[in-house]
Structure 1
Amino acid sequence: MTNKDLLKIAHQHGTPVYVYDAESIRLQYEKLTSSFHSHTRFFYAAKALTNINILKYIESLGAGLDCVSINEVRLGLRAGFTNDRILFTPNCVDLKEIEDAMELKVHINIDNISILEQFGNRYGSSYPIFIRINPHIYAGGNHKISTGHIDSKFGISIHQLRHIERVMKSTNLLVEGLHMHTGSEIKDPDVFLQGLEIMFELAEHFPDLKYLDMGSGFKIPYQEGDLETDVKTLGKKVEKALSAYQKETGKKFQLWFEPGKFLVGNSGHFLVKANVIKQTTATVFCGINSGFNHLIRPMFYDSYHLIENLSNPRGAQRIYTVVGNICETDTFAWDRKLNEVRESDVLVFRNAGAYGFEMSSNFNSRLKPAEVLFLDGKAHLIRKRDEFEDLLRNQIEIL
C-alpha cells in the first residue's frame, strides 16, 4: 500500500480514518510461522484490534485467537475460529463469565486462586483448564504495560504453587496448560527463555500438561533506530531448549504464543486532516481533526508514532507540535519535524493498527472514525464513521 493509496482513501472516505494493510498482517504472521518449529502455535491477541473483518482475515491465515472477554470469544466464533482454536484468558471476572466460555467449549485460562477454587469445587476434572502464572519477571516497555512483575494483578504467583496443588488435589482439577505473559515490547529474546525455564520447573507439578503458553510481548519498531524482537533467534533458542528438555525428561509440549501488536501494529495507518496552523510566541501548533478520543496511546503511555505529511511530501521541513481538537491537552507530538503543513493537508500516523481504534471513545461527543481494509489492491470500508444518532443510540430520554 502506497502513500498515493492512502491519499485516495482519505479523499474517498474522509478523515479521520484508520486504514489497515492486509499484506502487512500476512507478512508478519509468516515471519512468525517460519521462525518456529511446527509444534508452535500462534493465537492472535484479539484485544489489539477486533474488527470482524480483521478477525476473519487472521483466521484465514491459520492462527488461533486469544480472548480476554466473553464477547471477544463470541466475535472469534462468528469470524470462523473453531472453539479448539480459541483461548479465553479473562482477568478479574466472576465465575459466570467462565461458565459462559465453557458453554462455548473454548480453552479456559484461570488466573486467580479464588476462581480456581470455585471452578474446581463445582466442575472438578470435567473440564480441562489452563492456569496463568505470574513469574515475577519484570519485562516490557512502559510500566503500564508490564504484567509479570510482583505487583501485577495478572496471574497466580509462582510462590503460590503449593496452594494451587492443594486446590488441584482437593477438587481433582485437570490442568492441561500453563500460561505466563510478562509484558509488551520485549526486546531481549532471553526474557522468553527465562520464562520457559520457569515453565519447565513448574511442569513437574502438573502431570496432565499438554501446552505451555508464553504469551507475547514481541516488539515492533516505531521510529528509526528502534529494534524489533528477533523472532528468528528466539525460535532457534526455544527449539534448542525444548529439545533439551524433551531429551532429559521424555516429555513433549506444544508451545503457544499470543502475538497482537506484532501482527497488526505496522499494518495500521491513521489518516487525519490539519485543521489549523497556530503560531504562538513559543510554538507552532498543527491542530488536527482528531484527538486522544481516537488515538490515546501517546497520552496514555507516551507511545511514539511517526507522523508524515502525505499532501506535501517535498515541502521544507518545519517544527510543529501536533495537537488534537478536543477540550483537553491532547498532544500527539512535541517539536516534531514535518514537511511544511498547510491547513487541510492530510497527515498519517504510522504503526496505528494496534490499540488505536480499539481504545477509541466518543469523548467530547465526537464521532468515532471509519475503518478501511486494503486487501488485494483495493480499499474496502469495514466500519462506517459514526453519525450523530449513534451518540444517542442507547440513551433513554425521560424528560
Structure 2
Amino acid sequence: MTTEGFRVLDEKSLIDYIKAIPSLASKLGNQVDNLKVKEVGDGYLNFVYIVISPSSSIVIKQAVPYVRLIGESWPLTKERSYYEAIALKRQHGLSPKHVPEVYHFDRTMSVIGMQYIEPPHIILRKDLIAGVEYPLLAQHMAEFLANTLFYTSLLYLTTTQHKSAVVEFCGNVDLCRLTEQVVFSDPYKVSQYNRWTSPYLDSDAEAVRNDKVLKLEVAELKSKFCERTQALIHSDLHAGSVMVTHESTQVIDPEFAFYGPMGFDVGAFIGNLFLAYFAQDGHATQENERKAYKAWITDTIADTWNLFYKKFTSLWDIHKEGPGEAYLYEIYNDVWEDVKQKYMIDLFHDSLGFGAAKMIRRIVGVAHVEDFESITDPVKRADCERRALDFAKNLMKKRRSFNTITDVISTAL
C-alpha cells in the first residue's frame, strides 16, 4: 500500500482527524472541542487510543508500517488494518454479542474507529493472572467460535461463496508470514528474535530445536496453516485479544484474520488457558495456593471445547440441507453421524496441535505472555514455563491419541 497521504497520529493530531470525520464526531455526540485522548496500546503491532467526549467514547486504532515491538527495523504493511476492519465487520455480523462494532475505516490512514468496550471490561489475561473467575467465559467463547467458524465454512457456504471469501482475505500475506515465522519456524531454530528465561531454560530451548519428532509435527501443522482454507479465522486469539466482565465477553484485534484451519483459533484460545493454568503456581501465596482457581481454568478449558462441539454440530444439523457443499445431505444422510464424528475428531486433534504450537512459541519464541513474565522470581518462573513447555511438546506429538478434552487435561494435572 502506498504511503501517500499516510501519517502517524498522536494524541493531538488525532483530535483534528476526528473533527474532520462526521461518522466519528457523531459517535462522540459532536462534542469534539473537549476531547480527552489516552493511548492504551500494549500490543506488539499497533497504536490504540481511547477518545472520550463528555457524553461518549470510541476507540481509534492505527496500524503503522512496522512491528511496534521491534521498531522500524522490522517493516510490516499497514494494509493489515483493512483485513482487521473487514474481519471485525464480518465477525460482528455473525456474533454481534461478542465482537465490537466498526464505525469508520480509513484505508489510506490505516485507521479504524470502533465501539469502545467500556469498563468494567478488562483484558482477560490480566484477570487470569489476578485469579478472577468468569462463569460465562466458556459459553461465550464457544458461541463466538462456533458462529464465526461454521458460517464462513463450506459446511454453510457454496463453493462459489467460499472461494470469493478466500480471495477477499488472501492478500493478508504479511501477517500470515509473520505467524508462520514466529509460531512455526523461529522456536525450532536459532533465531535472533527468540528469548527465554535464561540460563534456566537454555537446555530446554535447545531440546526444542533438537527434537526431530517435534519438528516433524510442527512442519505438518505449518503446512495446514498455510494450505487449508476452512473458515475465516481470527488467527491471533489469545487471552490478550479477549475482554471480559462477568456478563460479557468481547473478542478484539482480528488483524491477522484470513481463511485458514479452524483448529488454529480453537487451539489458540485453549492453549492460552493452559498457559494461564501452568502460571498459577508462580502467583500462588501462602494465603492462596490457587488450587481452586487452577480447577476453574481446567473446567473452563473442558467447557469451551464441549460447548463449542455442541454448538457447532447443532448449527451443522440445522443447516444440513442448506447451501453448504462440503457434505451434501442427500449423499451423506445415511452416515450423517459418522461424518460429523470424523470431522470433529479431526478438528479436535488440529486444535490440540495448534494450541501446543502457540504455547511453545510463548515460552521460547519472540513474544511471551504476562502470565509468566509477571512472575518476578526467575527460578519460579522458569519452573512454571518448563512444565508448560513439557506439556505442550507432549501434546503436539501425541495429539492424535486423545479422544476427549478430559483426557488432555488429565495429563496437565
Same fold (TM over 0.5): no
* Structure 1 or 2: more helix by fraction: 2
Larger Rg belongs to:
1
State the TM bucket, normalised to the shorter chain: under 0.3
Give the structure-1-normalised TM-score.
0.24
Give the structure-2-normalised TM-score.
0.24
